[in-house]
Chains A and B, each alone.
Chain A
Amino acid sequence: MAKNIYEKIWEAHVVHEEPGQDSILYIDRHYVHEVTSPQAFEGLRLAGRKVRRPDLTFATMDHNIPTTDRSKPIEDPMSAQQVETLKANCAEAGVACFDMRDRRNGIVHVIGPELGLTQPGQTIVCGDSHTSTHGAFGALAFGIGTSEVEHVLATQTLLQKKSKTMEIRVNGALPHGITAKDIILAIIGKIGTAGGTGYVIEYTGDAIRSLSMEGRMTVCNMSIEAGARAGLISPDEKTFEYLKGREYLNGKSHDALAKQWATWASDAGCAYDRVVELDASEIEPQVTWGTSPGMVTGVTRTTPVLAEIGDGNTRHAAEKALKYMDLAEGVPIQKITINKMFFGSCTNGRIEDIRAAAKVVKGYKVSPSVEQALVVPGSQQVKLQAEAEGLDKVFKEAGFEWREAGCSMCLAMNADILQPGDRCASTSNRNFEGRQGKGGRTHLVSPAMAVAAAIKGHFVDIRDWKYN
């Protein structure tokens, strides 16, 4: 019988199942970061347990670390303690840890693929909701809580119930100026932030196939914003080509690997529990106006008019969001001015994102009304690559700040934080109240849309941009 990719991976990883109980699922890769792991390691110690497979566990520090000079110690004593705790826990357990001065350091969801750790057909977990990013490689990857991190450390398995599957098919060719970020924001706008709850999504269709691996990562990354457990894309030649020669694959025959990887792709004619279709030609550049990623619209549209929203709960939520965002009803998106810009995160902090943004920036300057415009590469390798291509200079000459890699203002756990009342165009994934700093207001957009807004001081339609 024809099977979809989720069914194939699930079946290949069930260690044990009994009626009426969750299945025990084997985990191939466990990524660990400093924020969600200390209590898990402590739990192991208290129970006298050991890390079962340190060789399948990989740690990085990304959430707390400064994006300024790395040769200096971390100023915030609590952040420093968390980072030190991770290092000590990894040393004790024999787990590889990419310290903030290691050339392999970066955001966990950027370095997994970059190092070739993430591969098709794997099960991958991390105490971080955006683990769904790795689904771009045809891996079943999802975020877990700290109790589950402890469970995986101790057993290399997880108790799971099989999810339902949803196919999201994006048909047609992607119009000029439309990016992976616009696709996923449009999907969330369509199905809602809880639309994927209980499902694992497989993204299919010509528009998805046409995306690069980095674009696919952007799409899968925000599956969690659609409420899904995981999002994935069947592997193809692009997947294999991306992985060729990556650090953790060295010494293995690429052809043999590619042949094995190809077997994970969904079979023709396989079934899903639900199918959603979108037409790529209808997608505009997207901008969020509210405090949930589903509060999103096209750049040529306006903020909502409350009287036009039928459902009472939705209207109430929109009213509350507009108030927090300090926006009136029916305001054209392109009239919204910003005073900050954040470029980076596991959604859009990769080399192609930086290249696309640099093209927009070339020959322009950051608007005098924009007080801060941060460019934060997703990993040290991304940063070095961009510098080798001279892209850092393009940003610096235009008045952007070029920083060290990390999560930075995506969640503002380090010193990169919005002040109350700031309005920020952001390439990250969450526009929740206070996400980038208490009282800060976030508008989610694609990389090109973010830097264009920083240059003009307000949102513009990137499809009309004059490139130098």
Chain B
Amino acid sequence: MKPFTTLTGIVAPLEALNVDTDQIIPKQFLKRIERTGYEDFLFFDWRFKPDGSPDPDFEMNAPRYLGASILLTKDNFGCGSSREHAPWALENYGFRCILAPSYADIFFNNCFNNGMLPIVLPANVIEQLFQEVRNQEGYSLTVDLPAQTITKPDGSTIAFEVDPFKKECLLNGWDQIGLTLRHEDKITAFEKTRG
């Protein structure tokens, strides 16, 4: 897994509640057996018109948000299906960090398992960021995981919480299977007790 330490990047807004993983990546792209190459399918039904050209009504398609690596969105992001294709598509497209007031549980875990950092911020802070992103072209933020801060263009900072174990895994890019297998003797012992 790619470690995550600090990230400076353009912020793209996605103003919708309850964005489900069917929207993040529609089912027709779940038939692939690969783990990469999902960038062109991200938000497919919103991003593209039926003729395949980018839909200018989809805010993120604006040239000013090209190359964004931080996604700003609303409550309950990533609800619905457990498909890990959703974080894959976001990551393949270039997002490594998400800012929202809340996330769906499985999606939240899936992000960490792909070297991505989903950050929970209070709703009023998110609202404020939406305004600032729209008011200032090229708006970018610096996310510092070790310090648990987000620095705005004006130099002010926002502190955020992150689970200490997940933070350590992200910082080191640890393979969780490897971590667990350090305790393989305990797993074997546990299995013995159950016959």
Contacts and interface: CB of A to CB of B under 8 A. Distances in A.
B109 A145 contact: yes
B164 interface: yes
Given A129-B106, A194-B102, A434 B45 contact: yes
Nearest to B109: A145
Contact of A151 (B76, B79, B80, B177): B177
A220 to B, nearest CB: 16
B105 A197 contact: yes
B82 A76 contact: no
A368 to B, nearest CB: 30
Interface centre among B83, B87, B184 (most CB of A within 10 A): B83
B104 A194 contact: yes
Nearest to A64: B31
Given A128-B82, A145-B113, A193-B79, A151 B180 contact: yes
Contacts, number: 157
Interface string A294-320: 100000000000000000011011001
Given A147-B114, A430-B80, A433-B45, A157 B187 contact: yes
B8 interface: no
B84 A36 contact: yes
Nearest to B178: A47
Contacts of B22: 411, 430, 432-435
Given A193-B76, A227-B105, A26 B165 contact: no
A161 B169 CA distance: 15
Interface string B53-87: 00000000000000000000011100111111001
Nearest to B35: A39
B82 A36 contact: yes
A127 B82 contact: yes
Interface of A: 15-16, 20-22, 24, 26, 35-36, 38-39, 42-43, 47, 49, 52, 63-64, 76, 78-79, 81-82, 85, 127-129, 143-148, 150-151, 154-157, 159, 161, 193-194, 197-198, 227-229, 292, 294, 313-314, 316-317, 320, 411-413, 430, 432-435, 438
Contacts of B80: 129, 430, 432
Interface stretch (B12-20, B140-148, B154-162): B12-20
Given A151-B177, A292-B18, A39 B33 contact: yes
15 contacts: A24-B183, A26-B191, A36-B82, A39-B34, A145-B106, A145-B113, A147-B110, A150-B177, A155-B177, A161-B163, A194-B76, A229-B105, A292-B18, A413-B28, A434-B23
Contact of A197 (B76, B83, B191): B76
Contact of B104 (A26, A157, A197, A413): A197
A198 B186 contact: no
A8 to B, nearest CB: 15
Interface centre among B22, B87, B184 (most CB of A within 10 A): B22
Contacts of B110: 145-148
B125 interface: no
Contacts of B191: 26, 156
Contact of A227 (B76, B109, B184): B76
B27 interface: yes
Contacts of B81: 128-129, 411, 430
Given A147-B176, A317-B16, A320-B16, A21 B83 contact: no
B58 to A, nearest CB: 13
A129 B108 CA distance: 13
Contacts of A148: 109-110, 113
B165 A20 contact: yes
A194 B35 contact: no
Given A24-B180, A154-B177, A313-B75, A147 B113 contact: yes
A20 to B, nearest CB: 5
Contacts of A127: 82, 84
Contact of A194 (B33, B79, B84, B190): B79
Nearest to A227: B104
A338 B176 CA distance: 48
Given A148-B113, A438-B26, A24 B186 contact: yes
A42 B105 CA distance: 25
Contact of A38 (B33, B45, B109): B33
Nearest to A12: B194
Nearest to A314: B17
Contacts of B75: 194, 313
Contacts of B28: 413
Contact of A81 (B33, B164, B165, B190): B33
Interface centre among A47, A85, A144, A320 (most CB of B within 10 A): A144
Contact of A413 (B27, B34, B106): B27
B186 A143 contact: no
B35 A26 contact: no
Contacts of A227: 76, 79, 104-105
